[in-house]
Amino acid sequence: MKQIRLVVKQLRDSINEHNYRYHVQANPTISDTEFDVLFKKLQEIERAHPELITRDSPTQRVGAKPLKEFAEVRHDIPMLSLDNGFTDSDVLAFDQRVHDRLAISGEIEYVCEPKLDGLAVSIRYEQGQLVCAATRGDGMSGEDVTENIRTIPTVPLHLRGNFFPAVLEVRGEVYMPKKGFLELNTRAEAKGEKQFVNPRNAAAGSLRQLDSRITASRPLAIFFYGIGVVEGMTLPDTHYETLLFIKELGCLINHEIQVVKGINQCLAYYEKLGQRRITLPYEIDGVVYKVNSFKQQTTLGFVSRAPRWALAHKFPAEEIQTIITDVEFQVGRTGALTPVARLRPVFVGGATISNATLHNMDEVKRKDIHIGDRVLVRRAGDVIPEVVSVITKNRPKNIKAIQLPIHCPVCHAKIEQIKGEAIARCTSGLFCPAQRKEAIKHFASRRAMDIEGLGDKLVDQLVDQHLVTTLADLYSLTFTQLAGLERMAEKSAQNMLDALEKSKTSTFSRFLYSLGIREVGEATAKQLAMHFDHLSDLYKVTEEELQTIPDIGPIVAKHITSFFSDKHNRSVIDKLIASGIVLQKNKKDRQLLPFIGKTFVLTGTLQSLTRLEAKEKLENLGAKVAGSVSNKTHFVVAGEDAGSKLKKAEELNIPILNESAFLAMLSGQY
């Protein structure tokens, strides 16, 4: 057995080395046939001795049994977005900002990289072995796609060599090569299956399969572009040297990456790569510039969710002419109406398109768009096609004006457009089928009615199978109906019924929040619950009465009265109460909302919580969080790298809270 273990180790080491030479160095030293012989020999030994199979064996890329859902993975270091630049002027302005912040005058060293059109992931190695992989998600947390990542041939299951950090998190872009994309769609067409629109969609759809065996059958690849967490080793001083280091560990980096001196060389790189773009074996939608020095990156820091030391220089969008044959209005999940142009089909941006967004009626008027117009349409990468402009020369005489409908095209409720707002909306949030799923998900969320187990997939099934048409139908669901749903065994069905029954006991404020009234968050819902004794009071409340409540202005008041004046919404609410929901009245105690009437402004980066989390905590305590400092501001919360807002607060003598003082205030100890 000792001899067999030695043979297995030698085979794995040899296969891993040849994989590295083939994928990373692009310099294979054996033929494909010779490689297949080694691989087959290892498979045969592992089949005969399954006790010798390890997770990092090169044979273990075939995929595992399907998951029920993806687990959430919190990123220890956030996966940030990049600011975009579209013109040379944008790039020069970026370079000037870098110079100003670093207070230097010489040319800065940048790393230029192709911006792949794929899906960002983070892969964690411990003691050299792959232990976890996650999608970018919202930047703070993503989905656990470890089993799927393991199936990609260019992802090392174990880092190469013996000299690597105890913990290393590498970040990269999963993509589908053009050749693989064409082959995938050819197979799908032969089977009569749906084809993917573009390689990015194909890559994203493949990586997010619950059955990793499907992912294993898809031609995915990856380029690594950076690092996250590092423990147990000091890495090089520059971004480029770090890329070369992870390449030595077996992580494939893009062959087009270059170090340049000064922003003019960045622009030259952009021009040359743009000319060669069509010949590359993968899709790119621009170039990324990164300050090479880690020390300079640290000095530059971050703003919001993007680093100040990097910029994505996007390629121009492709544009083409066509004719608008009609316009329809789509109702989004929040009730927003979007005019959509029906087009004479054209091929643009890698796909045939027959629809394009017109955004809103203000845009329609600004661009003077009519039905029958010849227009210029733009589509870039995965962006929804849009009408850029109208070609007015030789304009047809039979063009027709585009009119905003008076009633919702889905549920026929009244359309509301607040003065000063570009977006028109359907007012029937609880009844409109277009808003149904989103309304149910919000209603069931933890801070609303807290219906445990009523997640997205179950909501989709309930609505798609017409078991739930309004929120009130949730409380009429039967054991038989639930048990008959996909992945809902008898125990799960009973747990769901128990959760629904438990949710019937709630508070007035949580119930108001659960209804999803526009701009009525938890803080506003608590204020309404304090000022009104019964739901029926809100059926007849006026905008003027509402505006006497702190922080409820004319726009929010209009949203509230429009919501409760809709007969469909009132009908759903009455049915909810009739189903047995008991609302406990909050005590009229201002201590529940100690910050009522106070306006806060957040600036800089907080270490213990995100800007969004801080905003939510303040609003839950009754505060208003504004985006700019004025004489009406009561407190400014200043984190690291606070900017102009801090300076203005000092000029206006507004109280400034550092992070510790802010946290103390939240806990009532300030």
pLDDT of residue 502: 94
Q: How many CB atoms lie within 10 A of CB 250?
A: 24
Rounded Cα distance between 58 and 60, Å, is 5
Partners of residue 169 on adjacent β-strands? 124
Q: What share of the chain is helix, strand, coil (3-state, %, to 5)?
A: 40, 25, 40
pLDDT of residue 460: 87
Note whether 570 and 413 are within 8 A (CB): no
Note whether 228 and 171 are within 8 A (CB): yes
Rounded (5°) CA angle 597-607-519: 35
More confident position, 244 or 71: 244
Rounded Cα distance between 79 and 228, Å, is 8
Rounded Cα distance between 321 and 581, Å, is 56
pLDDT of residue 61: 55
pLDDT of 277-311, one tens digit each? 889 999 898 999 999 999 999 999 887 678 999 99
For residue 13, give both structure tokens: 């080491």
Single-letter code of the amino acid located at 114: P
pLDDT of 95-115, one tens digit each? 999 999 999 989 999 999 999
Rounded Cα distance between 199 and 184, Å, is 10
Kindly report the pTM of this predicted structure: 0.52
Q: How many CB atoms lie within 10 A of CB 13?
A: 12
Across the range 500-504, mean pLDDT stands at 94
**Helix 199-207 × helix 178-190 angle, to 10°:** 80
Per-residue confidence band for 385, with pLDDT thresholds at 50, 70 and 90: confident
pLDDT of residue 266: 97
Please name the residue that has the structure tokens 């300030």: 670
Domains 2-52 and 594-666 share a fold: no
DSSP one-letter string for 428-477: -TTT-GGGHHHHHHHHHSTTTT--TT--HHHHHHHHHTTS-SSGGGGGG-
Rounded (5°) CA angle 575-581-583: 120
**Helix 32-48 × helix 2-19 angle, to 10°:** 150
Please name the residue that has the structure tokens 């010798």: 52
Across the range 492-505, mean pLDDT stands at 93
Give Cβ neighbours of residue 155 (< 8 Å, ≥ 6 apart): 123, 130, 133, 149, 222
pLDDT of 427-463, one tens digit each? 887 888 888 888 898 899 988 999 999 988 898 899 8
Give Cβ neighbours of residue 303 (< 8 Å, ≥ 6 apart): 641
Domains of the chain, by residue range, sit at 2-52, 84-314, 594-666
For the cut 90, the answer to whether the pLDDT of residue 174 exceeds it is yes
* Helices marked H in 208-322: 212-216, 239-248, 263-276, 294-300
Provide the percentage of residues in the chain whose pLDDT is more than 70: 89
Rounded Cα distance between 442 and 573, Å, is 15
Give Cβ neighbours of residue 275 (< 8 Å, ≥ 6 apart): none
Per-residue confidence band for 39, with pLDDT thresholds at 50, 70 and 90: low
DSSP one-letter string for 122-147: EEEEETTEEEEEEE-TTSSEEEB-HH
Note whether 239 and 111 are within 8 A (CB): yes
Rounded Cα distance between 14 and 22, Å, is 12
Q: Tell me which CATH homologous superfamily contains domain 2-52.
A: Helix hairpin bin (1.10.287.610)
For the cut 70, the answer to whether the pLDDT of residue 64 exceeds it is no
pLDDT of residue 590: 47
Rounded Cα distance between 358 and 389, Å, is 10
CATH class of 594-666: alpha beta
pLDDT of residue 403: 93
Note whether 392 and 375 are within 8 A (CB): no
pLDDT of residue 473: 93
For residue 359, give both structure tokens: 């955004």
Single-letter code of the amino acid located at 376: L
pLDDT of residue 41: 73
Mean pLDDT rounded to a whole number for the chain? 86
Rounded Cα distance between 511 and 535, Å, is 10
pLDDT of residue 589: 44
Q: What fold does the segment set 84-314 form as a domain?
A: D-amino Acid Aminotransferase; Chain A, domain 1 (3.30.470)
Note whether 453 and 497 are within 8 A (CB): no
Rounded Cα distance between 23 and 21, Å, is 6
Compute the half-sphere exposure of residue 403: CA atoms within 13 Å on the CB side of its CA: 6
**Residues designated as active site:** 115
pLDDT of 303-336, one tens digit each? 767 899 999 998 887 788 999 999 999 888 778 8
pLDDT of 602-626, one tens digit each? 988 888 888 878 887 887 787 878 8
